[in-house]
Structure 1
Amino acid sequence: MDMVDTTKDVGKGILSIYKKYDHIRISGYMQPQFQAIQTKGAKSYSGGDFAPNVDNRFMMRRGRLRIDYIHFSDTKKPSVQFVFQFDGSEKGFFTRDFWGRIMENNTKLFSFTAGLFARPFGYELNLGSGDRESPERGRMSQSLMKVERDLGAMVSFEPRERTNWLKYVKLDAGVFNGPGLTATADYDSYKDFISRATLKPYPLQKNLSLSAGLSYFNGGLIQGDKYYYTLSSENGQKQFTIDSAQTNIGRKLPRKYYGIDAQLKWKYKNGGATELRAEYWRGTQTSSAATSETPAAVFSTDAYYARQFNGAFFYLLHSFDSHNQLGIKYDWYDPNTKLSGDEVSTASGSHAGDIRYNTLGMGYIHYFDENLKLVAWYEFIKNETTALDGYTSDIKDNVLTLRLQFKF
């Protein structure tokens, strides 16, 4: 996995483009799929909300085309990498990657990346859409860092051609605009600092490897409206209280995240493998009343809400051989850890953006070969039972996804 990339090939290294004459490489994939959900018009994080009268659909989830270019220095070592990737579907064409990387060749320890690329936070967030076993990333990563990418610059420490323990270490630190691809331009002068320390797959035994990571995100957004809500407790009653000082306008509102992840993988002689992944995030998120998603624009009339959140992703994967794989994924996202159950109510000033969700997904993946993959995946989605209208019981929004992936 390479956090400045979204394909499995580059996750293994820069691969054949490191070769002397392979300066240009073109790759891509497409993901046509069929989905069915329990309720017409249900909201969904499995490829987007369903239309009001629709409970099943065909769609082109992704259609990616990527071009890599490597320029070699006089010493025949890579010195500059350039990447352009776009996504095409029935919804239109969108840029997904557009970045350049300079590789320092004296000590072979550092590189510098600038442009539009994936934020260096977490494991699942950076696992490519063409390689991830589950059809989509978890609700938490989609809410906090939608579309995964942002404009910025990053310095990386990644020793190359080392034979000691340093070859298992990678450190990334970057500064980014903040809105990512949810906005066409930055809407304030505040920047996000994001860093990640990675232990690459380390052999614990002959057939057992461990990888892990620590991530840190320190950012924020400008307050465009004077109204700002935080949770407090008065006479034993938890409720949101408002700060409406005129001086609030223009200040920086917090977005701070902490993440930890680990992956264990057992390989078998027949080509099969068993893998366990675990990842946990916590922190502070500022957003709106209705949702905990990172705002795509400065609020002019809506109030801002600050919440303490946490969430996690767990994968259990078993490959019987190189063609057949079973997967189970469980994730939760609690956008407000200070409230639960009936505390999420109009009496406490709560909204839909405070509701916890748990998702259990399971499925079968069949790899016909390197160019064709079939995914059959079902997700059981359960929202927290609250005192809010519309959320006093579980919403029927379980979803089935049948997907083919063509790759070249």
Structure 2
Amino acid sequence: MKNNVWLLQLKKSNWCYFTAFLLVNTFIFRASAQQGVQDSTISQGEGIYSVFKKFENLKFSGYIQPQFQVAQSAGTPSFAGGDFAANSNSRFMLRRGRVRMEYTMLHKDNLPSVSFAFQFDINERRIQIRDFYGKIYENRFNKFHLTTGMFSRPFGFEVNYSSSQRESPERGRMSQTLFRNERDLGLMLSLEPQRKDDALKNLRIEAGLFNGTGVAAPTDYDSHKDFIGRVSLKPTEVAKNLTFSGSVSHYNGGMRQFGKQVYRLHNTATGPVFQVDSAETNIGKIATRRYYGADVQLKILNKWGTTELRGEFITGRQPGLASTSEVPAIEPIAEEVTIINNQPFTRKVNLPIYHRKFNGAYFYLIQDIKTNRDQIAIKYDWYDPNQEVKNREIGRPGDNTTEADIKFSTLSGGYIHNFNNNVRLTIWYDWVKNQATQLPKYSHDYKDNILTIRMMYRF
């Protein structure tokens, strides 16, 4: 009997030990598991943090600009987003859809060391690269950087002023003709101090070499490179409530003459005439492309908000074609059909180059209405592609002048409402005037005024 009781007590004590063992081990296992989860979470957090630190200077931005336009007449040729279709005088369009990524690697004192950026333009018509460049900064004096790739040409103010910030829907006719799509492939050395306490912090000097054919060109069709230089004063307070900025720019380049026919304007007894020079020595020469420009910007703080005045003037020499004063983006050739023995034969011929002296300008008046949430703006611009021929001298029989020699001026204005930092409404009207010429289409002012209503969304 005693043995049975002892055995029963032993069994109970063993069960208690076994139960205690299980509880202790369960506690230890759970504690270890919890500690493992915490360690794993810490490890993952450290990993995410390191990735975040690596890409904290990676920035994304973009905007879209859907708009509606009405022109005075169907098929209007226009610099407000491209020509209208032959049988249309109104259209919805996605003017721009931009996506931009920019990354900056910082050196000590949070100053840039290396950066790169790319930007695409996406709309209902195409996808096109806008920016694709890298910058390397010197970090000894923190004053210079080198840019290589595709980027905006360093000339003037309007060419470099972002379409997400500009008050008018489009750049002026002059800027669009001289610098189609604004960008080009090349390299540029810049003096632009990075330290805020640098004595030259408000100065920027840029000098670069470029293909000259622009972003739309499939390739550079000659080996000649164009030089562009600009000296700028960044916005500087010159008096109480008055800020001034401006720059001077120079473009020195040209394009190869592939054919022997070159047209230059000469004064004759009957008036200015384009006369052809067909010397064989013209082939391979560089047709001069040379611009001189200056721009200023003034901001005045007053009880109505901010009043801003801008102006820019450019003059120089421009090689072009009979039909356009714009420098060709591709080799200027055309197909010519000849009949031999009643059979058509097609051959490619080089188009003649036309040399013209031009000038152009624009002027802005922008007024905030109490705050920059609401603004009114007025703009006047002109572009005279051939300042040596005027009005009814253009289109005179035998003088070889064309639509490419007509001076256009545009008075425009509108209302801008910023719903917030991300949404903007622009209502803008362009009154476009051309010289009255002897050309049938432009014997009087062509009806090409345009109303633009645009929404912009940006992030």
Category of TM-score, reference length = shorter chain:
over 0.9
Aligned pair partner of 1:277 in 310, 314, 322: 310
Aligned equivalents of 1:21, 1:146: Cα separation in 2 = 34
2:383 maps to which of 333, 342, 345: 333
CA deviation after TM superposition for structure 1 residue 237, in Å:
2.3
Give 1:56's match in structure 2, choosing from 90, 95, 99.
90
Flag the 1:236–1:54 CA change in 2: closer, same or farther, 3 A.
Answer: closer
- 1:151-186 CA-to-partner distances (Å, cap 9, x unmatched) read 000000011214365111100000000111221111
Deviation sequence 1:281-314 (CA, Å, 0-9, x none): 0000000011111111222332110000000010
2:218 to 175, 179, 184: 184
Distance 1:20 1:199 in 2: 34
Aligned with residue 362 of structure 2, among 293, 300, 313? 313
Mapped partners of 2:165, 2:97: distance in 1:
14
Question: Is this contact kept in 2: 1:225–1:299, CA < 8 A?
Answer: no
Q: In 2, distance between residues paired with 1:119 and 1:22?
A: 29
Given that 1:145 and 1:294 are in contact with CA atoms closer than 8 Å, whether structure 2 keeps it comes out as no
State the alpha-carbon separation in 2 of the partners of residues 373 and 302 from structure 1.
45
Contact conserved, 1:222 with 1:298, CA < 8 A, in 2?
A: no
Which segment drifts farther, 383-392 or 119-128? Answer: 383-392
2:20 maps to none
Offset at residue 279 of structure 1 (A): 0.4
Separation in 2 of the partners of 1:269 and 1:309?
41
| Displacement after TM superposition at 1:123 (Å) | 0.4
Provide the secondary structure at the position in 2 that maps to 1:182.
Answer: coil
What's the RMSD between the two structures over aligned residues? 1.5
Aligned-partner residue type, residue 283 of structure 1: G
Q: Structure 1: how far apart are the matches of 2:301 and 2:390?
A: 41
The 8 Å contact of residues 73 and 447 in structure 2, kept in 1 or not, is answered as yes
For structure 1, which segment, 70-79 or 118-127, has the greater mean C-alpha deviation from structure 2 after superposition?
70-79
1: CA distance, partners of 2:169 / 2:248: 25
How many angstroms does 1:77 deviate by? Answer: 3.0
The residue aligned with 1:388 is 439
Deviations 1:306-352 (A, max 9, x none): 00000001000001112100000000000000000111123322111
Is the counterpart of residue 355 in structure 1 residue 402 in structure 2? no
In the TM superposition, 1:235-246 aligns within 5 A as 235=269, 237-246=271-280
Of the three residues 160, 176, 193, the one matched with 2:194 is 160
- Could you tell me how far apart the structure 2 residues matched to 1:343 and 1:24 are? 57
Q: Computing the radius of gyration over CA atoms, which structure comes out larger, 1 or 2?
A: 2
The one-letter code sitting in structure 2 at the alignment partner of 1:159 is: P
Aligned residues of 1:114 and 1:152 also touching (Cα < 8 A): yes
Paired with 1:129 and 1:70, the residues of 2 have a C-alpha distance of: 23
* Counterpart AA for 2:387: T
Are 1:322 and 2:376 counterparts? no
> SS where residue 125 of structure 1 aligns?
helix
In 2, distance between residues paired with 1:282 and 1:171? 21
CA contact (8 A) 2:150 2:215 kept: no
Q: Distance in 1 between matches of 2:57 and 2:145?
A: 18
Q: Counterpart of 2:394?
A: 344
User: What is the letter of the counterpart of residue 380 of structure 2?
Assistant: Y
Relative CO higher for 1 or 2, CA cutoff 8 Å, sep ≥ 6? Answer: 1
* Aligned counterpart for 2:244 among listed residues 205, 210, 220: 210
DSSP 3-state at the match of 1:180: coil
Task: Report the more deviating stretch, 75-84 or 276-285.
Answer: 75-84
The count of aligned residue pairs is 389
Equivalent residues of 2:218, 2:330 under 8 A apart: no
Per-residue deviation, residues 129-153 of structure 1 (Å, max 9, x unmatched) = 1100000000011111100000000
Residue of structure 1 in register with 2:11 after alignment: none
Say yes or no: does 1:122 pair with 2:156: yes
Secondary structure of the residue aligned to 1:353 is helix
Q: Percent identity?
A: 48
**Which of 384-393 and 46-55 deviates more?**
384-393
Moved more, 209-218 or 295-304: 295-304
Aligned-residue offset at 1:75:
6.0
The 2-side partners of 1:314 and 1:366 are apart by: 21
Please give the TM-score of this superposition, normalised by the length of structure 2.
0.83
One-letter identity of the residue aligned with 2:451: L
- Residue pair 2:104, 2:113 contacting (<8 A) in 1 also: yes
Q: Match for 1:133 among 167, 172, 197?
A: 167
**SS of residue paired to 1:342:** helix
Q: How far off is 1:21 after superposition?
A: 6.9
Q: Distance in 1 between the 2:55 and 2:111 partners? A: 11
Alpha-carbon distance between aligned partners in 2 of 1:97 and 1:73, rounded to the nearest angstrom: 24
SS in 2 for 1:141: helix
What is the aligned partner in structure 1 of residue 65 from structure 2? 31
Counterpart of 1:113 in 2: which secondary structure? strand
1:55-85: CA deviation from partner (whole Å, max 9, x where unpaired): 0000000000000011123664320011010
Aligned counterpart, 1:292: 325
Between Structure 1 and Structure 2, which shows a larger proportion of helix residues?
2
